[in-house]
Structure 1
Amino acid sequence: MSPHTTTEAEHLADVAARLDRLDLGEPFRWEVTVNHRRRTRVGIKIEPGAGNTVHVDLPPGISPDDAAELVRRERTWITRTVTHMRTQTPISPPIRRGISGETFDWLGRPHPLRPTNIGSSFPATFRGGSFLVPPDPPKPASAIIAAYRRDGLTWTIKRAKPWTRLLGLQHSPPSYAVADLGKCCWGIYENTHRISP
């Protein structure tokens, strides 16, 4: 008879069961995942408006007992943060109407929207402390997203050039892309000369 190998789902269920048995003062709902990018650390995340839900990211191969012990060590922070987050509401992006004077943030500063005739090659752009857009763009949201992406790419390339030299990548420089905020996360530079989420 062959020995039973534990699947990832069984392992996660075992970790969640061990976490449920911890005496943390109140019951929590554990969402446990394995994050294959993590090497040694357990990540704990608590979001506003999520009630008693605690997200736990585990590195591959950690035992349920070790995971439970690491979470138990953070019990004071978990309890305090969950209590605080119960009073918070999830952050929603502001609703934009595209009217003159409405502000858009660019590099940490607000820029008022200014409808102006700026030409067809640049449908919208941040310039001179204002966010310039055509008077009646057919798709205002697309024009705004395109401006953020284009100007963000220009800014990124300019700021990355010194780092390319410092990291010794001038012979095979990385390529850059700026995406919409549809999926918001930090990127990781990989040896394949690209940044991946």
Structure 2
Amino acid sequence: MMPASTQFVDFGGERIVYAVERTARRKTVAISVGYDGVRVLAPSDVDDTDITEVVRKKGPWVLKKQALYRELGGNPPFREFISGETYHYLGRPYRLKVIPDTNTIVTRITARGAMLIAPAPSGVDAAIRRSSVRSGLRLWYRDKAKIHFPKRAKAMANLLGIPTPVVQIVDQSKRWGSCDAHGKIRLNWRLVMAPMALVDYVIAHETCHILEHNHSHRFWRSLETIMPDYELRVRQLDRNGRMYIW
């Protein structure tokens, strides 16, 4: 593979900066968008102008993906799922304690004071043990989200004077929540790591979409009516959201 080069293209008033990586093994141009930016994998014999045209054609898709990653904040911290790492639940920090246990097959997390206790399989490869702890944490957080999110959605719906929406807990790494055309709200389980004020903001935002499916003036007016300080909460979520992504 040849060394990567950085290029850019202006699209729709915004500049898309991307890294090009060429390799003789590729037959087509592929674009990926992540926390580390935009990457273009291309055959070694493709001209820069041809790559630029591909990026330009995919401009709307690239900008949409970048916006979703900005919604979740900057690069997430690296996690090893070992003792001593800090994880959050409703904004409160908890210290992880992994306890190797010969009787444990599947890790089940329990909270004890300010600690998350994680019994993990012993006598196995460290990577397998970390994977078990990670799975245990995901399950624990999802269970907590199932407790809190429907209650908060009901509270927000009451403020808006609408029926309580159906809430689905989902695993989506690129956004905190969404609302479909039928009024079903989907919420990222990772959101339960954030303080309740930020949980409420996301749920209020999606609940308002039941009334207005776009970001019209009426939408923002509805949101401001039930949450006058929503802009402050947005900034806090933008600043701290990356801590909750893994």
* TM-score range normalised by the length of the shorter chain: 0.3 to 0.5
Q: Which has the larger radius of gyration?
A: 1
Query: Taking structure 1 as the reference length, what is the TM-score of the superposition?
Result: 0.45
Query: Taking structure 2 as the reference length, what is the TM-score of the superposition?
Result: 0.38
Q: Which of structures 1 and 2 has the larger relative contact order (alpha carbons within 8 angstroms, sep 6+)?
A: 2
Structure with greater strand percent: 2
Structure with greater helix percent: 2
